[in-house]
């Protein structure tokens, strides 16, 4: 006979509590802020990468 162990129970985190108990309105508000910040960060990374590529092309030509 195969015995299966019971999955370990973990304590709740503030994030899991928020996802489980916040209203749809609050979740949308928070997600909007998070997505805006993530988009800004990604755009910054892309700008920096483009600037580096520009410098590499300039340095290779000279």
> Which of 38, 33, 30 has the alpha carbon at shortest distance from 14?
30
19 in any annotated domain? no
Residue 58 has pLDDT above 70, yes or no: no
User: Global pTM?
Assistant: 0.60
- Judged against a pLDDT cut of 90, whether residue 60 lies above it is answered with no
Number of domains in the chain: 1
Q: What is the pLDDT of residues 27-46, one digit of tens each?
A: 999 999 999 999 999 999 99
Q: Is the pLDDT of residue 23 over 60?
A: yes
User: Could you tell me if residue 52 is inside a domain?
Assistant: yes
* Structural domain includes residue 51: yes
- What percentage of the chain reaches a pLDDT higher than 90? 63
| Rounded Cα–Cα distance for residues 62 and 56 (Å) | 10
- For residue 45, is it within any domain? yes
Tell me, what's the pLDDT at 62? 46
What is the residue range of 46's domain? Answer: 30-62
């Amino acid at each position: 006979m195969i015995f299966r162990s019971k999955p370990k129970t973990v304590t709740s985190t503030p994030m899991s509590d928020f996802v489980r108990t916040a209203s749809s309105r609050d979740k949308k508000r928070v997600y909007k802020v998070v997505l805006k910040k993530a988009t800004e960060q990604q755009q910054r990374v892309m700008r920096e990468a483009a600037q580096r590529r520009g410098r590499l092309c300039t340095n290779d030509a000279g």
